Amino acid sequence: MRQPEATKARILKQSGQLFNTQGYKATSISDITEATGLTKGAIYRHFKNKSHLEK
């Protein structure tokens, strides 16, 4: 069963950690997919683009 809120929280947590350690500009969606274990499609299902992860 899908858990969209848990997935969204996982993406936000991992992307936030990457932004803090690597910087926003240096962090790619590929970095986030690697950290979360999700596909790009799964990330984009929850967030329109990388800038929406920053908010």
Cα separation of 11 and 32, whole Å? 7
| Domains of the chain, earliest start first | 4-48 (1.10.10.60)
CA 54 to centroid of chain Cα atoms: 9
Say what percent of the chain tops pLDDT 90: 91
**What value does the mean pLDDT take over residues 47-52?**
95
For the whole model, what pTM was predicted? 0.90
pLDDT in tens, 9-30: 999 999 999 999 999 999 999 9
Number of C-beta neighbours around residue 7 at 10 A: 16
Q: Are 11 and 46 in contact (CB under 8 A)?
A: yes
